[in-house]
Amino acid sequence: MEFMAPIFDRISFMHVRIANSGHIQAAIGDEPERPRFATGDRNYLEDFKVMWKRAMRGWLKNAKFGDYLIFCPELLSRQHYYARTFQDPQGQFKEESDRYAEALRYQKIARECFDEICGAVQSRKLPRNF
């Protein structure tokens, strides 16, 4: 991922969603281990967390007092061909997840990632210039 370093080092806005190899948007569910629908051969959530943390490190490296990092989940509906749908017992197509609940999960995960990065900086596990 080092080839993306120039991008990660210039981040000030994160427009995010979790995808997998077959879908542009996959629900992550609320299981503590591996996300329900973002799995397969890989744990895609973990892949995205690595990128998010790297972007957060890049932002911290360049942030000045008063700067803020925007983390914006973009979870689009089935009308935009993003959210996967499945037929329910009545034959109606329903989205696989509640996008609002998913956005709250993203927020929780992002805060955990950011806290981990900040903690590493404060404890000197990571050099300030990463």
Please report which confidence band the pLDDT of residue 96 belongs to, taking 50, 70 and 90 as the band edges.
confident
For the chain, domain boundaries: 2-122
The string of pLDDT tens digits covering residues 74-89 is 887 777 767 777 888 9
For position 58, what pLDDT does the model report?
92
Average pLDDT over residues 70-77: 84
pLDDT at 126 over 70: no
What does the angle CA 63 – CA 114 – CA 62 come to, to the nearest 5 degrees? 15
Cβ contact 52:60 at 8 Å: no
For position 40, what pLDDT does the model report?
58
For position 122, what pLDDT does the model report?
65
Q: What is the pTM of this model?
A: 0.77
For position 127, what pLDDT does the model report?
47
Cβ contact 34:44 at 8 Å: no
Give the lowest-confidence range in 4-13, 30-39, 49-58: 30-39
β-pairing, 85-87 vs 93-95, is: antiparallel
The string of pLDDT tens digits covering residues 12-51 is 899 888 887 777 777 886 554 444 555 556 778 888 999 9
37 compared with 108, residue with greater pLDDT? 108
